[in-house]
Amino acid sequence: MSAPRNERRVHPRFPRSLELSGSAISGGASARLISSDLSLGGAYCTSDRAFPEMTRLAVRLLLPAREADRERAEPIDLAAVVVRHKRLLAHPEGERHELALLFTSMSPEQRDRLAHYLTHP
C-alpha cells in the first residue's frame, strides 16, 4: 500500500514518548530530546536546544528493555537531519524547541530493533 500523493511519509508514525540525546555532528553540546511520535523514518520531538533546519545530528535512542525477552536496554546510535524547527514561545520547563528529525542511516539490526519496539511496545 502506498502513501497518498499529498502525504510524504513512507513509514507510519507511532505515538511514543521516549528520551533521546542529540548533538550536531559538527560538534557542540548534547541536547535532551523527548519524542512525541516515532517511526522507522524519523521522530517528532521537543528539545532543550535549538538546532537549525538541515543540521546533521548524532542521535542516541535508548529503547526500553523487554522483560519477556530478557533483552537489555541498549542504545541505538543513528544519524539524523533536522527537517523542521520551531521555537516554542512559552514552556514551563524553560526554552523548548519542536524538531522533526529524518533518520539518515540505520543498520538492518537497528531497523529490526526499532520496528519491533514500534509494533510491540
| pLDDT digit string, tens, across residues 23-57 | 999 888 889 999 999 999 999 999 989 999 999 99
d(C-alpha 14, C-alpha 56), whole Å: 23
Give the amino acid at 110.
Q
pLDDT at 64 over 90: no
pLDDT at 3 over 50: no
Grid coordinates standing for 67? 522483560
pLDDT at 14 over 80: yes
Helix (H, G, I), strand (E, B) or coil at 108: helix
How far does CA 89 lie from the centroid of its chain? Answer: 22
In contact, 38 and 8? CB cutoff 8 Å? no
Q: Which CATH superfamily is domain 19-64+71-119 in?
A: predicted glycosyltransferase like domains (2.40.10.220)
**Domain boundaries along the sequence of the chain:** 19-64+71-119
| DSSP structure class, residue 63 | P
